[in-house]
Amino acid sequence: MTARPGPARPVTTDRPAPARSDAPRSASTRSDAPRSASTRSDAARPDAVRSDAVGSDAVRSAGPSGGSGQERGPGLEEAERVELTVDAVAPGGHCVARVDGQVVFVRHALPGERVVAEVTELHRGFARADAVEIVEAAPERVTPPCPYARPGGCGGCDLQHVAPAAQLGWKRAVVREQLTRLGGLTDAEIDALRVTVEPLPGGPLGWRSRVRYAVDAAGRAGLLKHRSHEVVPIDRCLIAHPAIQQLPVLGRHWPTADAVEAVASTGGDVVVTALADGVRTRVDLSGPPPAVDVPGGPVVAEADIAGGPVVVEADLPGRPTAQVDGPVGSAAVEVDGSVAVREVAAGRDWTLPAGGFWQVHPAAADTLVDAVLDLLAPQPGESAWDLYGGAGLFAAALAGRVGPDARVTMVESAAEAVAAARRNLADLPRVEVVAARVETALARRRVTGPVDLVVLDPPRTGAGAAVVRDMIAASPRAIAYVACDPAAFARDVRTFARAGWRLAALRGFDLFPMTQHVELIGLFLPPSR
């Protein structure tokens, strides 16, 4: 696992067609997967039609292709409102529409809906907009459970207006579109994969175990607007883990903090961290407001709100940790000068810094490990690589399958993750942890083939052509590719295909319910198989 958005805030991170039971309706010319109108000529092309409305609240009306033939108006303006028909889903939690031939990416909408959209951004060749009024609703539309999941509100949850089952279809459609447009796969090839997006246990709310709250100039904690640094003060985040929702973070005043992070681990630890001037400070929320001296002044939280004991710890350069209290449910553990949390996954306990990377859904780690092992089917004695290995989750799982006499090599560049991996894998002497960038380790032969199996879990940018080429040169029998961005994954699919490798299986997982994000695991096989 490589470093993807770590103690996560649900803002950036961290994204349908009614003809199918699992997907909302699509107005695309393809019934199974819409193609983005920004790049494909076969997407629906509503032509703008000028209405007779006048005044500051005038709403322009855009009808479907072949509309009334009225004279088209000039280009869109920021804050302008226009009534339009929404077409296909697009990456990023948007749907596609057109006004006067201009592409508009609309949030808070569903394919097939008629909406009034307010333009929020103008770019060369396209615009962004929010659906501020629903004229004709799709059957998959629901009332968002969170009052902040609305235009102008929190930007973290892209799909709260979509029924949970239909969210899976939405994400499946995006994956399919990316495999077609960027991966170069044909409809028949994608059909053969039978791609689905599988839900994780626990439902769409209360799953996020790592949340980063932004702090505004007034010291109020909240979440960020979509594509903005503006903080939306909130009183609760419904996708946050229940233990995080119970913390009095949002009721306190944080006059010197830039952000506040909260973690609720699968091992039962609950910790809160304030960040100020690049310094991370653990905060005790159980008693009087703390004041910990850091460069630039003390970090303080002002309020008298009762809460369970958490932990206070100053993680300052060159200074030892000052442990004051223990996290809820367990004794505090100190690792490398920082309080750590315990995670439980793949039949093992994992100890890592609370600020380090770990999957934010409590069921994600086990789900991904099970899927990788199922696809690769490791055999005793086989050698394996775990590239972008993070804290060593996949390396440990592979070692358990290939046996004590087989070699497993893990490559990771983040120093904190390398230290965590070496600590957590100390009981597996045949697992080697290589501290290096993956592309460097392969190019300079710090890891050498031949190798039987590879697990590849790159950052959002994907593996890239050089890494794919060097992996293939090691002649593995199979590669399991764990991807958090369908576009980057699709580009790498094309690179594999040029080398004669094929995408033999693909599974999607809804690790981030209510958001547009989807996790993929693909199995790549060489030409000989």
Q: Are residues 375 and 521 in the same domain?
A: yes
User: Is the pLDDT confidence value at 399 over 80?
Assistant: yes
Amino acid at position 153, single letter: G
Beta strand 279-282 with 48-49: parallel, antiparallel or unpaired? Answer: unpaired
> Which whole number is the average pLDDT over 474-493?
98
Q: Which one of 96, 111, 138 terminates a domain?
A: 138
**Which CATH number characterizes residue 182's domain?**
3.40.50.150
Which residue do the tokens 């696992």 mark?
A: 1
User: Is the pLDDT confidence value at 166 over 50?
Assistant: yes
DSSP labels, 115-128: EEEEEEEEETTEEE
Beta strand 384-387 with 453-456: parallel, antiparallel or unpaired? Answer: parallel
pTM: 0.80
Residue 431 in domain: yes
pLDDT in tens, 4-26: 433 333 333 333 333 333 333 33
Q: Are residues 240 and 200 in the same domain?
A: no
Pick the closest to residue 160 from 209, 96, 204 (CA basis).
Answer: 204
Q: Are residues 218 and 346 in the same domain?
A: yes
Residue 332 in domain: yes
Rounded Cα gap, residues 193 and 108, in angstroms: 30
Cis, peptide link before residue 7, omega less than 30° from 0: no
Distances in whole angstroms, Cα of residue 434 to Cα of each of 389, 431, 490 = 10, 10, 28
Q: Where are the beta strands (DSSP E) in 36-142?
A: 48-49, 59-62, 81-85, 89-90, 94-99, 102-107, 114-123, 126-136
pLDDT in tens, 291-338: 433 333 444 443 322 333 333 333 333 323 323 233 333 333 444 445
pLDDT in tens, 403-435: 999 999 999 999 999 999 999 999 999 999 999
Of 280-284, 354-358, 368-372, 513-517, minimum mean pLDDT range: 280-284
Q: Are 141 and 113 in contact (CB under 8 A)?
A: yes
Q: Comparing 70 with 118, which gets the higher pLDDT?
A: 118
Whole-number pLDDT of residue 285 = 76
Whole-number pLDDT of residue 528 = 82
Six token digits for residue 320? 């030892």
> Which whole number is the average pLDDT over 357-363?
96
Average pLDDT of the chain to the nearest whole number: 82
Q: Are residues 377 and 462 in the same domain?
A: yes
Residue 13 in domain: no
User: Is the pLDDT confidence value at 477 over 90?
Assistant: yes
User: Is the pLDDT confidence value at 357 over 70?
Assistant: yes
Whole-number pLDDT of residue 307 = 35
- The 3-state DSSP composition of the chain as helix, strand, coil percent (nearest 5) reads 15, 30, 55
Of 60-69, 116-125, 221-230, 369-378, minimum mean pLDDT range: 60-69
Burial class (CB in 10 A: 0-12, 13-18, 19+), 444: exposed
**Which positions ≥6 away from 39 have C-beta within 8 Å?**
181
Domain extent for 261 = 210-353
Rounded Cα gap, residues 502 and 527, in angstroms: 7
Beta strand 94-99 with 89-90: parallel, antiparallel or unpaired? Answer: antiparallel
Q: Comparing 288 with 378, which gets the higher pLDDT?
A: 378
pLDDT in tens, 227-260: 999 999 999 999 999 999 999 999 899 999 999 9
Residue 169 in domain: yes
Q: Are residues 97 and 154 in the same domain?
A: no
Helix (H) or strand (E) holding 212, with range, is strand 210-215
Whole-number pLDDT of residue 280 = 77
Please state the residue numbers annotated as binding site: 359, 388, 412, 457
The dihedral of CA 192, 197, 199, 203: what is its sign?
A: negative
Q: Are residues 380 and 349 in the same domain?
A: no
Q: Which one of 295, 326, 353 terminates a domain?
A: 353
pLDDT in tens, 191-211: 999 999 999 999 999 999 999
Whole-number pLDDT of residue 286 = 66
Please state the residue numbers annotated as binding site for S-adenosyl-L-methionine: 359, 388, 412, 457
Whole-number pLDDT of residue 95 = 98
Provide the percentage of residues in the chain whose pLDDT is more than 90. Answer: 71
**Which positions ≥6 away from 124 have C-beta within 8 Å?**
none
Query: Looking at the DSSP assignment, which residues form a beta bridge with residue 510?
Result: 199
Residue 395 in domain: yes
User: Is the pLDDT confidence value at 514 over 60?
Assistant: yes
Catalytic residues: 484
> Which whole number is the average pLDDT over 58-72?
48
- Count of domains for the chain: 3
